[in-house]
């Protein structure tokens, strides 16, 4: 209901406001805003059984108007989320913070603008979001203006998709309503011959350098651009289990999350989860149990946002014992799920 009200407010502002004061001069601006954020985060990893819902709050921002068309800003919001603790069976409020940066493009230099940026939210644990949206500005004076906007937020860590809206008031410094002075004719320019230069010291002249300002430590090709080479990167996973159990212990969630991050960074990779059992009991039952262990680890990866098409599981039972001794320690070592993942990264070649 709150998001609907804010959307109606944006529409009314767009239809009722007077003409935008065009030809804005460059300058810094600061402002404050009221904020609404609609989240649907279930079973937060940092606190099992916690659902986080909508938030209302306030914030401040500071930005710079580069031209009629482009501006950029830094944002901070103090957020108050409504949350439900399934374990305790009660609702309560949770404080959160959002901060990040946005770029704004003002359509035809007018009141409507599009925006995109990146945000970091600290609510129970940290999550990074990309955001994109639209907004409207109305200048009350040459410098003072109000704005209203709405945006979609896409989580990079957990795959959340949220929406938010805000209404604010800002002040743009350095504006002058006085008529501009007549433009004087430019003085006659005498051209002075310029010696060829290599500004970034990469042994490629500026006239031929397609990648100016290459870092000094990077090797470059004949066009002055950084050279790259392929390098193999790997990650591994080992999860052990109690006797006759396939339940993944909470102590392994961090290790599983690391494998999830690796798979998200290297989207062309897949993972094979190998389930194993000790030599205690019936071999056929142990093979079935080892497959279930691999499947349960796969489910944790899927919860972290990994497509199940990228995951293969196999149950090997007693076929590959890690420790063949007939002891409790050896049996505990054999009750496990293993994975080894590798990929190829492009890395810079150093000089």
Domains of the chain: 27-173 (2.40.160.20), 191-217 (no CATH), 229-348 (3.30.1330.60)
Q: What is the mean pLDDT of each run of 10 residues along the chain (351 residues)?
A: 46 43 75 92 68 90 92 94 78 89 92 94 88 94 92 88 94 72 79 80 81 83 84 92 92 95 93 94 93 95 94 93 92 94 85 81
Taking only the tens place, the pLDDT of each residue in 108-132 is 888 999 999 999 998 878 889 999 9
As a whole number of angstroms, the distance between CA 107 and CA 50 comes to: 41
Task: List C-alpha distances in Å: 168 to 62, 80, 93, 137.
Answer: 12, 18, 24, 10
As a whole number of angstroms, the distance between CA 209 and CA 206 comes to: 5
pLDDT given at position 45: 57
Strand partners, 312: 272
Task: Give the CB-side neighbour count of residue 290, counting CA atoms within 13 A.
Answer: 28
Taking only the tens place, the pLDDT of each residue in 315-334 is 999 999 999 999 999 999 99
pLDDT given at position 129: 93
| 94 closest CA partner among 73, 124, 66, 120 | 124
pLDDT given at position 177: 57
pLDDT given at position 184: 80
pLDDT given at position 200: 79
β-strands 271-275, 311-315 pairing: parallel
């Amino acid at each position: 209901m709150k998001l609907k009200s804010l959307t109606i407010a944006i529409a009314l502002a767009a239809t009722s406001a007077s003409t935008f004061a065009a030809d804005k001069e460059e300058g810094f601006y600061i402002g404050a805003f009221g904020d609404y954020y609609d989240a649907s985060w279930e079973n937060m990893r940092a606190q099992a059984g916690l659902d986080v819902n909508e938030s209302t709050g306030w914030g401040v921002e500071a930005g710079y108007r580069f031209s009629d068309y482009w501006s950029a800003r830094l944002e901070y919001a103090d957020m108050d989320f409504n949350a439900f603790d399934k374990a305790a069976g009660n609702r309560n409020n949770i404080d959160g913070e959002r901060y990040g940066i946005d770029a704004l493009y003002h359509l035809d230099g007018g009141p409507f603008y599009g925006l995109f940026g990146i945000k970091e939210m600290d609510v129970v644990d940290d999550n990074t979001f990309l955001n994109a949206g639209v907004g409207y500005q109305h200048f009350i004076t040459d410098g003072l203006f109000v704005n209203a906007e709405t945006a979609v937020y896409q989580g990079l860590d957990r795959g959340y998709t949220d929406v938010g809206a805000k209404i604010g008031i800002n002040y743009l410094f350095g504006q002058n309503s006085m008529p501009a002075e007549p433009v004087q004719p430019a003085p006659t320019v005498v051209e002075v011959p310029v010696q060829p230069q290599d500004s970034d010291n990469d042994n490629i002249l500026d006239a031929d350098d397609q990648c100016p300002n290459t870092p000094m430590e990077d090797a470059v090709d004949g066009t002055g651009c950084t050279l790259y080479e392929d390098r193999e990167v790997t990650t591994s996973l080992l999860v052990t289990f109690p006797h006759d159990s396939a339940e993944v212990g909470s102590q392994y969630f961090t290790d599983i999350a690391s494998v999830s991050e690796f798979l998200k960074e290297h989207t062309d990779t897949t993972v094979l989860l190998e389930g194993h059992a000790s030599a205690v009991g019936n071999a056929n039952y142990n093979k079935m149990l080892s497959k279930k262990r691999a499947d349960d680890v796969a489910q944790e990866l899927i919860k972290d946002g990994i497509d199940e098409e990228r995951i293969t599981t196999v149950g090997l039972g007693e076929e590959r014992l890690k420790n063949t001794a007939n002891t409790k320690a050896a049996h505990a070592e054999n009750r496990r799920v293993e994975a080894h993942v590798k990929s190829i990264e492009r890395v810079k070649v150093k000089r």
